[in-house]
Amino acid sequence: MTLNNIWVFAQVANGAPTSATLELLTKARSLSSNVTAIIGGDGASAAALGEFGATKVYAINHGASLPGVAIAAALKTVIDGGETPDLIIGATESSDGYTGTVPEQIAELLGLPSVTFAKKVSVEGGVLKVDRQTENGYDEVTCALPALISVTAGVVEPRYPSFKGIMAAKSKPVEEVTAADLGITPVGWAGAGQKISNVAQAEARQAGEIIEDDGESFGKIIGFLENLKVI
């Protein structure tokens, strides 16, 4: 089944989309011919998204770091102003924040079901089917659409853009918006709900205790484990 519209959250590292983002676009294009991408930064960082199949790109130039909940609110605002998505795809976590919560926060704000840690994604009969990675393997999950998923590495094989895709990307629209356009002020530390009160050097690692076996050493080991409340 082909979906009408898919949104992809893009990640940037060193001013360019990450390889994971380009893999997400590849997966999105396998499910829909209409793919909208959102990326942080200016229009220059968005060019590669069109090369890998994005039909429209929103570049959010916020100019400073934002907390996860503010990022979620900004992305929701952009989605509300665009074409209604059948499916939203994001990575599990960003390469700088590592909170792993933004996709789920967006799903909550949009009122959509969310499936995390997706390693395989397909759509059959209007139903989203996901293999959700777990510590012991994976769970087979079904979900009604529209929905939001966050995927793990390897959900699709990476590829290189075609010459046709590179040329077509030059004519694809890129809409630049700022944090102020999305109602987010102030940004950076001025708008943060927390502050760094102190930075200290980590304590040097202490030398371990060497226990020589004299026939009664097990008592010391048991005492050590009891002190740690392991037993």
Q: Which CATH number is 62's domain given?
A: 3.40.50.620
Number of domains present in the structure of the chain: 1
Q: Is residue 201 part of a domain?
A: no
Mean pLDDT value across residues 10-35: 77
**Residue 169 in this model has a pLDDT that exceeds 60:** no
| Domain housing 66 | 6-191
Tell me the per-residue pLDDT of 140-166, one tens digit each, with 9 for 90 and over.
999 999 999 888 766 555 555 565 655
Q: Is residue 59 part of a domain?
A: yes
Residue 137 pLDDT: 87
**Residue 197 in this model has a pLDDT that exceeds 70:** yes
Residue keyed to tokens 């002190």? 227
Q: Is residue 226 part of a domain?
A: no
The CA distance from 14 to 111, in Å, is 33
Residue 33 pLDDT: 82
**Residue 43 in this model has a pLDDT that exceeds 70:** no
Cite the beta strand spans of the chain per DSSP E: 6-9, 12-13, 16-17, 35-40, 56-61, 87-91, 114-124, 127-134, 137-144, 147-151, 174-178
Tell me the per-residue pLDDT of 84-140, one tens digit each, with 9 for 90 and over.
888 988 877 655 556 677 888 889 999 999 888 888 888 888 888 988 988 888 899
Q: Is residue 228 part of a domain?
A: no
Predicted TM-score (pTM) of the model is 0.68
Of 126, 130, 35, give the one whose Cα is nearest residue 88. Answer: 35
Q: Is residue 19 part of a domain?
A: yes
Residue 81 pLDDT: 81
